[in-house]
Amino acid sequence: AQKITQTQPGMFVQEKEAVTLDCTYDTSDPSYGLFWYKQPSSGEMIFLIYQGSYDQQNATEGRYSLNFQKARKSANLVISASQLGDSAMYFCAMRERSGGSYIPTFGRGTSLIVHP
Amino acid sequence: DVKVTQSSRYLVKRTGEKVFLECVQDMDHENMFWYRQDPGLGLRLIYFSYDVKMKEKGDIPEGYSVSREKKERFSLILESASTNQTSMYLCASSLPIGQPSSYEQYFGPGTRLTVT
C-alpha cells in the first residue's frame, strides 16, 4: 500500500483562482511530518510548507496553506490566487521515524497547469 | 544559502559500465539521500546516510550501492549499469532530527542518466 497517495495526476486552474491539491497518507508513527515540494520544468525541488503531526494549527506560508485533517489522514495543499509561475509538479511527502532516523516518502505528484 | 551540487547534469553510459554519481553539500548536514525520479512514480528513496560511513537502504536499493567517506560527499554507485536504471537521480541533504528545520531537505539539480 502506498504511504502517500496523490489521486490527481493533473490539475488545471484559472489564473487568480484558488486550487486544492489532494494528499492522503498512511502511517502508524504518532510523530510524523508532512510537507509539499514544487518542481518546475527546470527540475529543481523547491520546499513549500511543512506540518508536524502534533501541530494544532494548519501551516501557512504566503499563498500556500496546508489543510491538515488528522482523523482523515489528509494533508491537502491550497494555493490561493494562482499565478502562471505556479505551473509545476507538486509532490506531497511524509517523514516517519524508522530506527534512529526520519525516512521521507514522496507521492507520485500532481501536475498543475495555470491558465491565463 | 545551502548548496547541494551533483557532478553531472547529464550522463550517458553503456550497459554493464560502472557508474559513479557524486553529490556534495556545503552546509555540514549530517543526513544525505539519493532518490530516483521517474514519470508517474514520483521520487523513490534508494539509500540514505545519517553520518559518515553510515548507510541505510531505502525503498529500491537493488542494483545500487553508496559511499560516504566524508561528511560533505555522498556517492551513488551503479556496479553494472542496466537500461532500467535510466532515470533522473536526485541527491538531498538535511539536518539531523531535533535541529530546527530538520524536516527540510535541500536538493541538488539532478543527474539525468541514460544507459544504452
Confidence check: pLDDT of A1 > 70 = no
Contact B42 A109 (CB under 8 A): yes
Q: How far is CA B41 from CA B10, B36, B98, in A?
A: 20, 9, 30
- For residue A83, what is its C-alpha cell? 499565478
Q: pLDDT value at position B2? A: 63
Q: How near does any CA of chain B get to the CA of A71, in Å?
A: 22
How far is it, in rounded angstroms, from Cα B53 to Cα A52?
30
Would the CB atoms of B42 and A106 count as touching at under 8 Å? Answer: yes
| Nearest CA-CA partner of A23 in A38, A11, A39, A35 | A35
- What span, in angstroms and rounded, lies between the C-alpha atoms of B38 and B31? 23
Q: Residue A45's pLDDT is what?
A: 94
Query: What phi and psi values does residue A81 have, to the nearest 5 degrees?
Result: 50, 65
User: Which of A91, A101, A102 is nearest residue B43 as measured by Cβ atoms?
Assistant: A91
How close is the nearest chain A Cα to the Cα of B78, in Å? 22
Specify the pLDDT at position A20.
98
Whole-number percent of chain A with pLDDT over 90: 84
pLDDT on residue B44: 96
Residue A96's pLDDT is 86
Mutate one of A39, A45, A49 to test the B interface: name it (highest B CB count within 10 A).
Answer: A45
Handedness of CA B49, B105, B85, A105 (dihedral sign): positive
Place of cell 513549500: A48
Above pLDDT 70, what percent of chain A? 97
Chain A: closest CA distance from residue B5 (Å): 12
Mean pLDDT across chain A: 94
Judge: A35–B50 Cβ closer than 8 Å, yes or no.
no
Instruction: Show pLDDT as tens, one digit a residue, over chain B (116 residues).
Output: 669 999 999 999 999 999 999 999 998 999 999 999 999 999 999 999 988 988 999 999 999 999 999 999 999 999 999 999 999 999 999 887 777 777 788 999 999 999 99
Task: Check B104 against A45: CB less than 8 A apart.
Answer: no
Q: Which residues contact A81 (CB under 8 A, 6 or more apart)?
A: A16, A17, A18, A63
Name the residue facing A107 among B42, B45, B103 (closest C-beta). Answer: B42
Q: Which residue of A has its CA nearest to B38?
A: A108
- pLDDT tens digits along A33-53: 999 999 999 999 999 999 999
What pairing do the DSSP bridges indicate for beta strands A60-61 and A64-69?
A: antiparallel
Place of cell 489543510: A67
A86, pLDDT greater than 90: yes
Q: Do A47 and B104 touch (CB under 8 A)?
A: yes
Chain B hits for A109, Cβ within 8 Å: 42
For residue B50, the chain A residue with the least C-alpha distance is: A101
Element (H, E) at A104: strand A101-106
Give pLDDT, residue A52. Answer: 93
* Alpha carbon B50 to chain centroid, angstroms: 13
Give the residue among B44, B37, B107, B6 at the shortest CA–CA distance from A47. B107
Check residue B95 and give its pLDDT: 83
pLDDT tens track for A13-37: 999 999 999 999 999 989 899 999 9
